[in-house]
């Protein structure tokens, strides 16, 4: 993506985040290093806040689809199958959220 010089014009920072999470069910601690490139030019706190905000939105929007509908495990690749099933899953989720009979 950023192999060509004109594609790097807006880039102002590279970000390295070392994350640690504790998994309660297994009492395991996992460490990850994540790298980001950004057009932001800010301090570490501002970059961290922006990344957290992005993932907060991503997780809240897609968590149910990933967990309940297993969207991440789907292997539909023929034609528009993946996109069509994604739309059907979102319609189903909205119908379930609006269900008030029980």
First to last CA, the chain: 50
Report residues of the chain scoring pLDDT below 50. none
> Residue 51: how many CA atoms within 13 Å on its side-chain side?
21
Q: Sketch the domain layout of the chain as residue ranges.
A: 10-51
Where residue 96 falls (left for φ over 0; alpha for ψ -120 to 50; beta otherwise) is: alpha
Task: Evaluate whether 71 touches 88 at the Cβ level (below 8 Å).
Answer: no
Note the pLDDT tens digit of each residue in 69-98.
887 777 777 888 888 888 888 898 888 888
* Residue-level pLDDT at 4: 66
* Residue-level pLDDT at 60: 73
* Residue-level pLDDT at 32: 93
Closest CA to 64 of 95, 36, 40, 38: 95
* Residue-level pLDDT at 30: 94
Q: What angle do CA 20, 32, 9 make, to 5 degrees?
A: 120
């Amino acid at each position: 993506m950023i192999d060509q010089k004109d594609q790097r014009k807006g880039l102002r920072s590279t970000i390295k985040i070392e994350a640690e999470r504790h998994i309660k069910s297994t009492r395991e601690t996992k460490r990850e290093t994540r790298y980001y490139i950004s057009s932001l030019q800010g301090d570490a706190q501002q970059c961290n806040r922006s990344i957290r905000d992005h993932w907060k939105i991503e997780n809240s929007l897609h968590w149910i689809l990933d967990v309940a509908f297993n969207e991440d495990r789907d292997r539909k690749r023929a034609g528009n199958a993946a996109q069509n099933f994604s739309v059907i899953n979102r319609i189903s989720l909205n119908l379930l959220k609006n269900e008030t009979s029980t």
